[in-house]
Amino acid sequence: MKTIIEPFRIKMIEPIKLTTREQREQMIRAAHYNPFRLRAEDVVIDLLTDSGTSAMSSEAWGAMMRGDESYAGARSWYRFRDTVKDIFGFKQVIPTHQGRAAEHILFGVMVKPDSIVPNNTHFDTTRGNIEFVGGTPVDLPCVEADDLDSDAPFKGNMNIEALEKLVAEHGPQRIPVIMVTITNNSGGGQPVSMANIREISRVARSAGIPFYIDACRFAENAHFIKHREKGFADSAPIDIAREMFSYADGCTMSAKKDSFGNIGGFLCTNDAELAHKERNILIMTEGFPTYGGLAGRDLEAIAVGLRETLDEHYLDYRLLSTRYVVERLRESGIPVMAPAGGHAVYLDARRFLPQIEPLQYPGQSLSVELYIEAGIRAVEIGTVMFGLDAHTGEESPARHDLLRLAIPRRVYTQSHMDYVLEAINLVWGRREQIRGMKIVKAPRFLRHFTAHFDYV
């Protein structure tokens, strides 16, 4: 069968409030043309993020009722810990309230003011947490990543030559940890190959530097390896996941991504001494080591979600559904990042709206138009987000101007995806009339969240 179906039935629904174009024009104006400022209930299809927005299963909801809320040594903790150990394979497991708390603790014990931390592409909280303790995050994406059109299978890879050069130059004294993010969220949700993970591990081990994986979308990455890398076609996703982690010394994880959690995360390591230091910080900032920042019921839900996310039928549906949107857009000639990544579709706003120069924010314009057209909320990843140097106050075009449509897991159906496609096509049809925007008011840091915009 070619038709993509959701491999689940729906037994509980959340109504969507439908709005008129006139209402949406009024609401986005009142939100100063910044979709972050909209009320969620005024959004028809919310593609702002895939983080914490997933739908849990009846199994996970059932498990929540079994949550053991004992302060220390709860049954739910052991269920969570054993599941994480079984899949990720690390000796020490530290629960946290979300991914950035794991980063904060890890970098707090590992990174010093003159440290350099390489990654394929740092996620913004990873970057922020390294800078917070005085370290310097360095992005080393592979060369193929720069070409939005190329169908290279592993555009999330790290540039190994650049990594070797960095390690040769600075050595383990200044590089306390090497990271790789799977899939590469800030690099378009593109996967990292097993071969690349092995190479990073080889470079790290020969220099005596610990190697950590930012594992937020590990299941999607494993499934891409299964389908795109030679030798894995017959492997189960869990075995691919275990192999990926076998090359690393630890990981950080946001359970709000590939484990369907509405909240949660963890930090893993094989180093008992390091884990001891990390748990000391954990007790100060998150909670006792058998619950971190989480309720027993959250630990239960994550333990169930971590198994479900490795289900092949779910992963087939997840990746095919994203690919379906990307392929239909390409057939219509609409500029979109290729090939399809896992968790999101990225429209190339700079080419979609070539009449708008980068400093008039084509990605922001496109996000406003999609909302007006159909009530879809997406996020600009471009000059609004990255164009301002907070220290000098100078503005320049970002590398790309993209609009990210992130797809919550198991929340929207194929017909919702068809609705999204129709909306993008309608905006494409009237693209020549779309104007650029200007910023009326904005803070210096993280301005995209709160800035006020208007048409130029």
Ligand X SMILES: *Cc1c(COP(=O)(O)O)cnc(C)c1O
- The CB-of-252 to ligand X minimum distance in angstroms stands at 7
End-to-end CA separation in angstroms for the chain: 49
- The CB-of-219 to ligand X minimum distance in angstroms stands at 13
- The CB-of-104 to ligand X minimum distance in angstroms stands at 9
Distance CA(263)–CA(6), nearest Å, equals 24
Q: Which is nearer to ligand X, 183 or 365 (CB)?
A: 183
Amino acid symbol at 94: I
171 within 8 A of 207, measured Cβ to Cβ: yes
Residue whose Cβ sits closest to ligand X: 99
Spell out the residues 6+ positions from residue 10 whose beta carbon is closer than 8 angstroms to its own: none
Distance CA(122)–CA(130), nearest Å, equals 10
114 within 8 A of 174, measured Cβ to Cβ: yes
Q: Which is nearer to ligand X, 44 or 102 (CB)?
A: 102
Distance CA(367)–CA(356), nearest Å, equals 14
- The CB-of-294 to ligand X minimum distance in angstroms stands at 12
Q: Which is nearer to ligand X, 141 or 358 (CB)?
A: 141
Q: Which two tokens stand for residue 84?
A: 């994480």
Q: Which two tokens stand for residue 196?
A: 């690349």
- The CB-of-221 to ligand X minimum distance in angstroms stands at 11
Q: Which is nearer to ligand X, 137 or 265 (CB)?
A: 265
Q: Which is nearer to ligand X, 123 or 314 (CB)?
A: 123
- The CB-of-181 to ligand X minimum distance in angstroms stands at 5
Applying CB under 6 A, the residues found at the interface with ligand X are 51, 98-100, 123, 125-126, 181, 185, 214, 216, 254, 256-257, 265
Q: Which is nearer to ligand X, 99 or 250 (CB)?
A: 99
My answer on whether omega of the bond before 183 falls inside 30° of 0, hence cis, is: yes
Q: Which is nearer to ligand X, 214 or 249 (CB)?
A: 214
267 within 8 A of 250, measured Cβ to Cβ: yes
Distance CA(199)–CA(201), nearest Å, equals 5
Q: Which is nearer to ligand X, 265 or 335 (CB)?
A: 265
- The CB-of-197 to ligand X minimum distance in angstroms stands at 15
Angle among Cα 114, 116, 118 to the nearest 5 degrees reads: 170
As beta bridge partners, residue 117 has 137
Distance CA(320)–CA(4), nearest Å, equals 7
- The CB-of-98 to ligand X minimum distance in angstroms stands at 3
